Amino acid sequence: MSASPHNPKGWTFASFEVYVDHAIKSLKEATAIAMTASEKAIEKAEKSDDKRFSLLNEFRATTNDQQANFAQKDQTQFRLDAIDKELVSIKLSLQESRGKDRGVWLIVGAIAWAVTTGVAVFAVIHR
């Protein structure tokens, strides 16, 4: 057929049907290609998410293990307070024993002074 003012491209029902069928087939093919690409992208994203969540679960398990193994503040404070009390007791004991040592040496020094003074006085008197 030829073109006319009312049909500038010269369409017939048969040629228009072929054109529409071809357009529909092309759309179906493009849609199928897009769907395949979309499914592949979704699979990759799901694998990536699974891997990330697996790593996150491992991290959570590690932090839970660490938290279970770390000392709690109340326990450590109780133990540190007990150590502080023991250190104070040891310091007092050391100071007490040093004081006793000083007292013993003071008595020994006083006895030595008394003996030497007594010997000197005795020597002066008997001369």
Residue 50 corresponds to which tokens in the numbers above? Answer: 């699974």
> pLDDT by residue (tens digit) across 32-54?
999 999 999 999 999 999 999 99
Q: Tell whether the model's pLDDT for residue 1 goes beyond 70.
A: no
Task: Say if residues 10 and 1 touch (Cβ distance below 8 Å).
Answer: yes
- Better-scored residue on pLDDT, 35 or 103: 35
108, pLDDT greater than 90: no
Enumerate residues 6+ apart whose C-beta is below 8 A from 9. 3
Quickly tell me which residue has 């006895």 as its tokens: 111
What integer is the mean pLDDT of 5-28?
Answer: 88
Prediction pTM value: 0.41
Listing DSSP states for 49-69 in one string gives HHHHHHHHHHHHHHHHHHHHH
Q: In the chain, where are the structural domains located? A: 1-70, 73-127
Residues in the chain, overall count: 127
Residue 43: which of 51, 54, 55 has the closest Cα?
A: 51
Q: What is the structure's pLDDT at 2? A: 67
Residue 6 is predicted with a pLDDT of: 77
Query: In the predicted model, what is the mean pLDDT of residues 83-100?
Result: 84
d(CA 116, CA 123): 10
**Residue spans of beta strands (DSSP E) within 1-127:** none
